[in-house]
Homo-oligomer: A and B are copies of this chain.
Amino acid sequence: MSNAYNRPDQLSPELRKRVLDTARRLGYPGPDPVARSLRTRKAGAVGLLLTENLSYAFRDPAAVGFLEGLALACEDAGHGLLLIPANPEHEDVAAVHSAGVDGFVVYSVPDDDPHLAAVMERPVPTVICDQPSISELDRVGIDDATAIKGLARHLIELGHRKIGVVCMRLARNRNDGPASPERQANAHFHVQRARLAALSEVFSEVGVEWDQVPVIERFDHTQESGGSAAAQLMEMDPEVTAVICTSDILALGALAEMRRQGRRVPQDLTITGFDGIVDAERAELTTVRQPVLEKGRAAGRLLLDASESTGQPREVVLDTQLITGSTAGSPRSVEERWFGP
């Protein structure tokens, strides 16, 4: 029966025609993809898990770039891309359990996310991107420590010693405000943890005590969050000369808010970002560019590549690039800052 559809060489043309004709006459809608999937154990789709509302994937430019790359890889392999609804509020893992996919790409979820646990229970290949650092799984990412160290050294060369940090959420529970050193060290988002640790390391080398460095955390990843976090930071510690943000979105928000408050950037205050999104380029933000599209594509390739025979988990580490824009400059002395040059 289904031979007529899929294996034209296995039967004579006239029988095939007869079968197809009667099938049409009977209103047969063609082979059922689900039944085929069950039998062949192939779904022809890749599942994407990310720990935000689904629509977030389309709001964050970095995520959009990643998705574009992933879509590219899927397309090459003729696979579909299934966006899995994983609301971070509800711990409803059903969507992961009911996703008919040949593998998962996990993007930017905390290492204690129940959805991630559910994915790992599924007997399909999985590629982790950026966020959780799980040793047994294939992984695509950047060297966060090295990347942000380059940025930090740049600021140190410019003369900055009084710095502050604005970072993205560190754990699944909301904490909009200062993040204690413990919270930093125990962060469930590996990327944020690595960046903070690297900053701590580099600045310690030049005598900056990390406990004294204000780190403001924001749960929501929006420009508004960046703005309010920067405001909170400057209120807590007005002597800060440089605000390091762990994402461009936050940095752009901080930039706008600081300028709104009448501070000149970079004369009065240095602001830096991370990611290298298009809007950052437009704003001439000093930042670290990471190849988001390539990241997505690499993740897809890793997942769909059949030559995964090696039992060893594979790892792809992509290069980053320091972008010196116009939002970082030398700090002015305190007198200058208060009384003008």
Contacts and interface: CB of A to CB of B under 8 A. Distances in A.
Interface of A: 29-38, 43-45, 47, 53-55, 57-59, 64-65, 67-69, 71-72, 74-75, 78-85, 87, 92, 94-95, 97-100, 121-123
Given A37-B34, A71-B54, A98-B36, A82 B85 contact: no
A75 B85 contact: yes
30 contacts: A29-B123, A31-B97, A32-B38, A33-B97, A34-B34, A34-B100, A35-B38, A38-B38, A44-B99, A45-B82, A45-B99, A45-B100, A53-B72, A54-B71, A54-B72, A54-B74, A55-B68, A55-B69, A55-B71, A55-B75, A58-B64, A58-B68, A58-B71, A75-B87, A78-B94, A80-B82, A80-B83, A80-B99, A81-B83, A100-B100
Q: Which 8 pairs of residues, A with B, have the shortest CB-CB distance?
A: A58-B68, A54-B71, A81-B83, A29-B123, A54-B75, A55-B71, A55-B68, A33-B98
A95 B82 CA distance: 13
What number of copies of this chain does the assembly contain? 2
A88 to B, nearest CB: 12
Contact of A43 (B53, B81, B83, B100): B100
A59 B61 CA distance: 10
Contacts of A38: 32, 34-35, 37-38
A58 B67 contact: yes
A248 to B, nearest CB: 16
Nearest to A29: B123
A95 B83 contact: no
